[in-house]
Amino acid sequence: MPSDEWNDDSRDFTDINPTPSLPDGRGVRIGILTSGGDAQGMNAAVRAVVRSALSVGAEVYAIFEGYQGMIDGGDGIRPFDWEDVGSILNRGGTVIGTFRSKEMREREGRLKAVRHLLHRGIDRLVVIGGDGSLTGLNLLRNEWPGLVAELVKRGDLAPETAREHPSLMIAGMVGSIDNDLVGSDMTIGADTALHRIVDAIDDLASTAASHQRSFVVEVMGRHCGYLALMSAVAGGADFVLVPEQPPEPGWEDRMCADLKAGRKAGRRDSIVIVAEGATDRQGNPIKADYVRQVLIDRLNEDARVTILGHVQRGGTPSAYDRWASTWLGYNAVHEVLTATPDSEGRVIATRSNRIDRISLVKAVADTQRVPDLIGDGKYRDAMRMRGRSFVEMDAIFNELAAPVRTIPAEGDKRIGIMHAGGPAPGMNTAARALARLGISRGHHMIGIHSGFIGLAAGDLSELTWEETEGLTGEGGAMLGTRREVPRTQDLYAISRALEKNEIDALIVVGGYSAYDGVHKMTTERDRYPAFRIPTVCVPASIDNNLPGSELSIGADTALNVIVDAMDKIKESGIASKRCFVVETMGKNCGYLAMMSGLAAGAERIYLNEEGISLDDLVADMHWLRESFANGRRLFLAVRNENASANYTTDFLARMMEEESHGMYDVRTAVLGHMQQGGSPSPFDRLLASRLAYHALNLTDDELAAGHDGAWFIGVKEGHLRPGRMDTMPTLVDPQHRRPRDQWWLDLRAVVRTVSDELRS
Ligand code: ADP
């Protein structure tokens, strides 16, 4: 989680390096281990480390069972090759094992570890673990010269070996489902854990609603409330208890009042989320059973407890935990290859949607300070350590969960909510958040049905709090969405509808058509005064092709759908030698193809941004033949639907088949509209809630100031920022309907490195 200091808006982000190319690694030996609690995505990181290192000529040793493997030596340290990390991306846990090694905490244990490492010439270590594991890594690095000298003195190490390896070069990565490392936005495993929790809450909500029951759900997080708070927002819960913010005495009354009011306002289910480390202000644990008893005693509710436990660590990693961990692993290899004896130990972490090298010592110290702050009653500081978005999510939760409440002094405006463009999972989450936040501020939230067409036809109705109940996790778009951009002749009808319905401001949650339509309205303001109202576009498109936002609502869900399908497709090919060509959506934007290819372990990715040339295809056919001749059984190629007008998916498959000379067969899979469907992922729900909150704040500011700005809002370098609609032409490539600058193209080097392309 980002600390405020690191997450300061004023910070210049240009010092976050683009993905570097890897230096020559010949003659270098790198050890890799996973330690502490397991986390989904560790395998993706291990795979990336092994392959990135091999790709530049380094040798890699997997150290099994965490630090214990290097203390035991022998089979605990094994050289790893390319194929040793094949087919592990989709597996949970860690294939090289993890362990809580007591011996590592003793100097004698660390002496053994150094001896076993140096007998194999390993003096670079990549460790994936929590703050405990990283502490151990740093200690080993600091003690290295002393331990080496002692081994020489004892006669356990040749002096020339000691001279050749005077220091240990390290890189850490954080594997922790709790997302508790201060300074890192997302730790490996946290996104998948959220998937598990939110799936469980969705399932519980439907049974709870059937019986009008209450559920108390305990989630992991001893000192960190990330999973609890985020799952409360994403799961549409009513009350949450997190370690960073022990509730004030009498909180039971407040909880019961909130739940009672929710019932009155139409809720059929009540859900309370409790982090396992939640306490009261005296430091006494608040257990799920206690909360349940309170609900039974004071509300006369039928309340049940669900403790999710280790389910949260289980299962296949999410798309994010695969592609982000792969990106981290690649950068960790860069770090151990470029670190010098004098350089500071670094953790390779995601920050502001980029990879950053943060100080290991500071990150661990800050992380370990949080429980002390909580113990000292410095709750605000503890919350601030969790970062701006955590604090903001707390505010969003409180406003969203609060049952209908009007603040007439603030609101009383009529704000239209509309979708436009293709369906994107999370549109409903955004509409619900806008409606509830708006109602809680005293506004009338007017739903506009079926996009600009519906607006022109005057198809509008006021939304109620109950209407949005249960919408958080629903795919599709309750308000309906249409792709049509208004034509010039539609503008009159639209302006009449806005006037007739006295719409004071408009928020459009949608894709490129939404932006195009709103942009068109802003250029026609002179002719249609009704368009002179605050207007905000919120990015929602699985294609992730919108200006002013690095991520749009729906793209993460689509990625998960695609990666899930690719896992199944790959499994289906296990019995034969097979090449698959999978076509993804995205129109002229290759985001889905690139990121799903990275997450699913595709060998080749074809993007519209790069096109496909005959020379590429000739090289690919050679590569295919050669690699199948060398024992390959499966080859996965991903083709963005508009990668080339003529080299279609079918054409590619036929060419591959023709060139196979019977060595392998070829199948195609065009994934189609399943990519636009499904329940929104936790990330998309959180993004939708945050964007809705910011869009409404911006609208309120505009209304209060008497302004009529036209804006879009988006995520830029990890922060939510507004952009003026009139800058849209400078930000997009209108011919291809995508942003001119696409951050994710930077991951091309990573794909090439881990996918075998360089070895052809
Ligand atoms: P996590 O890494 O998930 O925080 P732990 O705190 O249990 O989990 O640490 C995992 C392992 O890292 C420990 O079992 C131990 O081997 C090693 N380790 C943790 N703290 C230290 C330390 N202070 N000194 C040496 N090794 C440590």
Task: Write a three-state SS string for 488-549.
Answer: HHHHHHHHHHHHHCCCCEEEEEECHHHHHHHHHHHHCCCCCHHHCCCEEEEEECCCCCCCCC
Asked whether residue 455 is assigned to any structural domain, the reply reads yes
The pLDDT, as a whole number, for residue 573 is: 83
Asked whether residue 275 is assigned to any structural domain, the reply reads yes
Asked whether residue 479 is assigned to any structural domain, the reply reads yes
Protein residue with its CA nearest to atom 7 in ligand 1 = 36
Protein residue with its CA nearest to atom 5 in ligand 1 = 132
Residue 755 has pLDDT above 80, yes or no: yes
Q: How many Å lie between the centroid of ligand 1 and the Cα of residue 51?
A: 26
Give the number of the atom of ligand 1 that is nearest the alpha carbon of residue 105.
25
The pLDDT, as a whole number, for residue 266 is: 79
Q: What is the mean pLDDT of residues 718-723?
A: 92
Residue 284 has pLDDT above 90, yes or no: yes
* CATH code where residue 490 lies: 3.40.50.450
Q: How many Å lie between the centroid of ligand 1 and the Cα of residue 97?
A: 15
What is the pLDDT confidence band of residue 178, given thresholds at 50, 70 and 90?
A: very high
Q: What is the mean pLDDT of residues 510-536?
A: 97
Q: How many Å lie between the centroid of ligand 1 and the Cα of residue 50?
A: 23
C-alpha torsion sign, points 505, 511, 515, 520: negative
The pLDDT, as a whole number, for residue 203 is: 93
Q: What is the mean pLDDT of residues 597-606?
A: 96
Same-domain status, 53 and 107 = yes
Query: Which helix or strand (DSSP H or E) is residue 63 part of?
Result: strand 59-63
How do residues 416-471 score in pLDDT, each as one tens digit? 999 999 999 999 999 999 999 999 899 999 999 999 999 999 999 999 988 888 78
Protein residue with its CA nearest to atom 22 in ligand 1 = 136
Upper half-sphere CA count for residue 498 (Cβ side, 13 Å): 26
Asked whether residue 752 is assigned to any structural domain, the reply reads no
Protein residue with its CA nearest to atom 26 in ligand 1 = 136
Out of 38-52, 405-419, 508-522, which region has the weakest mean confidence (pLDDT)?
405-419
Q: How many domains does the chain have?
A: 4
Same-domain status, 459 and 542 = yes
Residue 13 has pLDDT above 50, yes or no: no
Q: What is the mean pLDDT of residues 141-160?
A: 98
Q: How many Å lie between the centroid of ligand 1 and the Cα of residue 135?
A: 7
What is the pLDDT confidence band of residue 9, given thresholds at 50, 70 and 90?
A: very low
Give the number of the atom of ligand 1 that is nearest the alpha carbon of residue 100.
14
Q: What is the mean pLDDT of residues 395-420?
A: 82
Upper half-sphere CA count for residue 619 (Cβ side, 13 Å): 10
Residue 758 has pLDDT above 80, yes or no: no
Closest to 621 (Cα-Cα) out of 654, 584, 574: 654
Residue where a domain terminates, one of 275, 292, 312: 312
Give Rg (Cα) of the chain: 27
Determine the residue of 68, 70, 114, 133 to mutate for testing ligand 1's pocket, defined as the one with the most ligand atoms within 8 A of the Cβ atom: 133
Contact between 553 and 430 (Cβ < 8 Å): yes
Residue 186 has pLDDT above 80, yes or no: yes
Q: How many Å lie between the centroid of ligand 1 and the Cα of residue 134?
A: 7
Query: Where are the extended beta strands (E) located within 175-259?
Result: 214-219, 239-241
Q: How many Å lie between the centroid of ligand 1 and the Cα of residue 71?
A: 14
What is the pLDDT confidence band of residue 14, given thresholds at 50, 70 and 90?
A: very low
The pLDDT, as a whole number, for residue 265 is: 81
Same-domain status, 523 and 485 = yes
Give the percent of the chain with pLDDT over 70.
96
What is the pLDDT confidence band of residue 7, given thresholds at 50, 70 and 90?
A: very low
Residue 303 has pLDDT above 90, yes or no: yes
Catalytic positions are: 178
Give the percent of the chain with pLDDT over 90.
87
Give the number of the atom of ligand 1 that is nearest the alpha carbon of residue 68.
16
Q: How many Å lie between the centroid of ligand 1 and the Cα of residue 181?
A: 14
Same-domain status, 512 and 642 = no
The pLDDT, as a whole number, for residue 479 is: 96
The pLDDT, as a whole number, for residue 574 is: 80
Determine the residue of 34, 70, 104, 112 to mutate for testing ligand 1's pocket, defined as the one with the most ligand atoms within 8 A of the Cβ atom: 104
Protein residue with its CA nearest to atom 1 in ligand 1 = 130
The pLDDT, as a whole number, for residue 405 is: 58
The pLDDT, as a whole number, for residue 64 is: 98
Same-domain status, 174 and 254 = no
How do residues 248-260 score in pLDDT, each as one tens digit? 999 999 999 999 9
The pLDDT, as a whole number, for residue 575 is: 82
Mapping DSSP onto H, E and C, the string for 81-136 reads CHHHHCCCCCCCCCCCCCCCCCHHHCHHHHHHHHHHHHHCCCCEEEEEECHHHHHH
Determine the residue of 34, 135, 139, 368 to mutate for testing ligand 1's pocket, defined as the one with the most ligand atoms within 8 A of the Cβ atom: 135
Q: What is the mean pLDDT of residues 321-335?
A: 98
Protein residue with its CA nearest to atom 10 in ligand 1 = 36
Protein residue with its CA nearest to atom 27 in ligand 1 = 136
* CATH code where residue 663 lies: 3.40.50.460
Give the number of the atom of ligand 1 that is nearest the alpha carbon of residue 67.
16
Residue with the bigger pLDDT between 469 and 679: it is: 679
Give the number of the atom of ligand 1 that is nearest the alpha carbon of residue 175.
3
Residue 1 has pLDDT above 80, yes or no: no
Residue where a domain terminates, one of 678, 712, 742: 678
Protein residue with its CA nearest to atom 17 in ligand 1 = 133
Q: How many Å lie between the centroid of ligand 1 and the Cα of residue 175?
A: 12
Determine the residue of 34, 35, 187, 188 to mutate for testing ligand 1's pocket, defined as the one with the most ligand atoms within 8 A of the Cβ atom: 35
Q: How many Å lie between the centroid of ligand 1 and the Cα of residue 373?
A: 22
565: helix, strand or coil: helix
Q: How many Å lie between the centroid of ligand 1 and the Cα of residue 101?
A: 7
Asked whether residue 158 is assigned to any structural domain, the reply reads yes
Annotate 305-343 with b (16+ C-beta within 10 A) or e (fewer).
Answer: bbebeeebbebbbbbbbbbbbbbbbbbbbbbbbebeeee
> Which tokens sit at 129?
């673990």
Give the number of the atom of ligand 1 that is nearest the alpha carbon of residue 176.
3
Protein residue with its CA nearest to atom 12 in ligand 1 = 133
Asked whether residue 397 is assigned to any structural domain, the reply reads no
Q: What is the mean pLDDT of residues 669-691?
A: 95
Enclosing domain of residue 574: 557-678
Give the number of the atom of ligand 1 that is nearest the alpha carbon of residue 37.
3
Closest to 549 (Cα-Cα) out of 722, 695, 694: 722
Residue 4 has pLDDT above 70, yes or no: no
Residue 760 has pLDDT above 70, yes or no: no
Q: What is the mean pLDDT of residues 316-341?
A: 97
Mean pLDDT of all residues belonging to the chain: 94
Residues with CB under 6 A from ligand 1: 35-37, 67, 100-101, 104-105, 129-133, 135-136, 139
Same-domain status, 200 and 147 = no
The pLDDT, as a whole number, for residue 759 is: 52
pTM: 0.96
Same-domain status, 42 and 164 = yes
Same-domain status, 364 and 279 = no
Q: What angle do CA 143, 145, 147 make, to 5 degrees?
A: 65
Same-domain status, 169 and 197 = no
Residue 209 has pLDDT above 80, yes or no: no
How do residues 636-660 score in pLDDT, each as one tens digit? 999 999 999 999 999 999 999 999 9
Residue with the bigger pLDDT between 7 and 322: it is: 322
CA distance 271 to 254: 15
Q: How many Å lie between the centroid of ligand 1 and the Cα of residue 68?
A: 11
Residue 11 has pLDDT above 80, yes or no: no
Q: What is the mean pLDDT of residues 368-381?
A: 96
How do residues 614-638 score in pLDDT, each as one tens digit? 999 999 999 999 999 999 999 999 9
Closest to 685 (Cα-Cα) out of 255, 245, 232, 345: 232
Residue where a domain terminates, one of 263, 297, 312: 312
Out of 6-10, 407-411, 417-421, which region has the weakest mean confidence (pLDDT)?
6-10
Asked whether residue 666 is assigned to any structural domain, the reply reads yes
Q: Distance between the two ends of the chain, CA-based, in angstroms?
A: 39
What is the pLDDT confidence band of residue 5, given thresholds at 50, 70 and 90?
A: very low
Out of 38-42, 436-440, 588-592, which region has the weakest mean confidence (pLDDT)?
436-440
Contact between 608 and 588 (Cβ < 8 Å): yes
The pLDDT, as a whole number, for residue 301 is: 85
Determine the residue of 72, 99, 105, 111 to mutate for testing ligand 1's pocket, defined as the one with the most ligand atoms within 8 A of the Cβ atom: 105
Give the number of the atom of ligand 1 that is nearest the alpha carbon of residue 103.
16
Residue 200 has pLDDT above 80, yes or no: yes
Same-domain status, 567 and 631 = yes
Give the number of the atom of ligand 1 that is nearest the alpha carbon of residue 134.
2
Out of 202-211, 317-326, 560-569, which region has the weakest mean confidence (pLDDT)?
202-211
Q: How many Å lie between the centroid of ligand 1 and the Cα of residue 100?
A: 6
Asked whether residue 449 is assigned to any structural domain, the reply reads yes
Same-domain status, 436 and 341 = no
Same-domain status, 594 and 729 = no
Protein residue with its CA nearest to atom 15 in ligand 1 = 101
Contact between 181 and 224 (Cβ < 8 Å): no
The CA-atom distances, in angstroms, between 241 and each of 327, 396, 401, 532 are 33, 15, 13, 43
Contact between 355 and 366 (Cβ < 8 Å): no
Determine the residue of 100, 168, 170, 176 to mutate for testing ligand 1's pocket, defined as the one with the most ligand atoms within 8 A of the Cβ atom: 100
